[in-house]
Chain A
Amino acid sequence: MLTKRIIPCIDVDLDEDGNPAVYTGVNFEDLKYTGDPVEMAKQYNEAGADEFVFLDITASADGRETMLDTVSRVADEVFIPLTVGGGIRTKDDIKETLRAGADKVSINTAALQRPELVEEGAKAFGNQCIVISVDARRRYDEEGEFYADVDGESCWFECTIKGGREGTGIDVVEWAREAESRGAGELFVNSIDADGTKDGYDIPLTKAVCDNVSTPVIASSGCGGPEDMYEVFTEAGADAGLAASIFHFDEYSIQDVKSYLDERDVPVRL
């Protein structure tokens, strides 16, 4: 039986000396240094992670070269699927990233701005390596396409850019369907509302996407522990759950999460 995937994610920036380093958000904004990306990837691999997501948050040209080198070093050590995101804007960026050793690339803003990029990437490299990432935000007005009932209120989900600081007016579910029809192989659903709260994933959001696409969905943002993973798999129908700080700060191990799920009959790779 196909198992639910547990995926640790690292945000990688350059430190003061220009070396790649993992930073983890604490209470929304403060970033705390948490380790060396290659070492952390090795540890998560050994700990039983099902995949690994590496997000380049440098957003600079200099940083990009260093990041590709780091991706290669991670890929040489870690024999599980590796998804790389951050700053991927063109078909050439996709090619470079895959060549560095990524199995999949995660594309966010660039795909919203130019949806043809999804087709170009899928056609050239296969659907399976094109992951479309969205940063969703709840909106309670009348401008969306797909509405969900959240605590008795009707709301829709808007795609945002720039870390949630800017709205696009595009409905997340509508965009997910479009990305799928253009060839996305997987959808990576982040929630601006849930991010950093550790109060659990945005279930109505994740469910709305899962109910409207047949592409695998990775739920992200808000995970505070195993019970949140359980909820997003059983109530929203996600295929994979992503988490960062609970793993980085050793609050829970990957095995803690998997044991919890296994005891409750959610299929996992033990």
Chain B
Amino acid sequence: MSTTHPQEETLADVVVVDYGLGNLRSATRGLERAGANVTISDDPDSIDEADGIVLPGVGAFGDGMENAGPFREALVDAAENGTPVFGICLGMQMLLTSSEEADKAGQGDVEGLDLIPGTNVRFKEGQKVPHMGWNELDVQRDHPLVEGVDGEYAYFVHSYYAVPDDEETVLATTDYGVDFPAMLANEAGNVMGTQFHPEKSGETGLQILRNFVEYCAER
């Protein structure tokens, strides 16, 4: 476990879950810039006292769930207790129930966290995959996370996208041949995610991270 030391007074203690995948540096710096005191942790026991939890992620669904396995119970408990949980990219896909990706990789039915019921599917033929680059956010409904970002651009890198069972969970969509969910939140509002990388989405991304940190602080 390592704690970083931001310069300014912080608004909330946020744990970034380190399950061995991806570069956590940018997400950590972005959250710090947004006012969080960030702890990067590979210890599931450490997350129950956090004001907010960030589940980052790059790579494949099956590998992600396998590596995040030890956190499953702690994440589900935290979500049920109302702690804000924010999944980024693969981290958002992992909030759902399943993914076609695991089937395609021959890993069979890999169970997601099921905090937002639904599945993840691959973009259809005819679109360049991965969907890589800056694309526009079309906000669908109110939630603290989407404050001030309607019509702005965010940076995406992904080949699969979320299809939640309940359309009401979709906070924002993006058009890539199909209007897919770019941002999600559960009914209670405390479990949320972005398919894009807010830590790589310039000022818009920092705005979203600020929205999250403020939401954590207000709880």
Contact = CB atoms under 8 A, between A and B. Distances in A.
A216 B60 CA distance: 19
Most buried by B among A1, A5, A79, A128: A79
Which 6 A-B pairs have CB atoms at the shortest separation, nearest pair first? A269-B153, A269-B134, A128-B157, A126-B59, A101-B25, A3-B134
B23 A98 contact: yes
Contact of B133 (A50, A103, A125, A214): A50
Contacts of B201: 79-80
Interface residues of B, number: 31
A128 B135 contact: no
B129 A239 contact: no
Nearest to A270: B153
A4 B153 CA distance: 12
A53 to B, nearest CB: 14
Contacts of A101: 23, 25-26
Interface string B141-157: 00000000000010101
B133 A5 contact: yes
A80 B156 CA distance: 11
A72 B23 CA distance: 12
B43 interface: no
A76 interface: yes
A81 B155 contact: yes
Contact of A186 (B23, B129, B132): B132
Contacts of A215: 128
Given A127-B130, A128-B58, A214-B128, A2 B135 contact: yes
A50 B201 CA distance: 9
A79 B23 contact: no
Contacts of B202: 45, 79-80
A240 interface: yes
Interface in A93-145: 98-99, 101-103, 125-129
Contacts of B206: 79
Chain A contact residues, majority secondary structure = loop
B200 A5 contact: no
B132 A103 contact: no
Contacts of B49: none
Contacts of A67: none
Given A79-B205, A126-B58, A103 B23 contact: yes
A2 B135 CA distance: 5
Contacts of B25: 72, 75-76, 99, 101
A226 interface: no
Interface string B161-188: 0000000000000011000000000000
B58 A1 contact: no
B40 to A, nearest CB: 13
> Among the interface residues B26, B33, B60, B200, which one has the most CB atoms of the partner chain A within 10 A?
B26
A125 B63 CA distance: 11
B23 A81 contact: no
Contacts of B200: 79-81, 103
Nearest to B23: A98
Contact of A80 (B60, B132, B155, B176): B155
B18 interface: no
Contacts of A204: none
Contacts of A99: 23, 25
A50 B59 CA distance: 22
B132 A79 contact: no
14 contacts: A1-B135, A2-B131, A2-B134, A2-B176, A4-B133, A45-B202, A76-B29, A99-B25, A125-B58, A127-B130, A185-B132, A186-B132, A216-B133, A269-B153
Contacts of A50: 133-134, 155
A79 B30 contact: yes
Interface string B23-60: 10110011001000000000000000000000000111
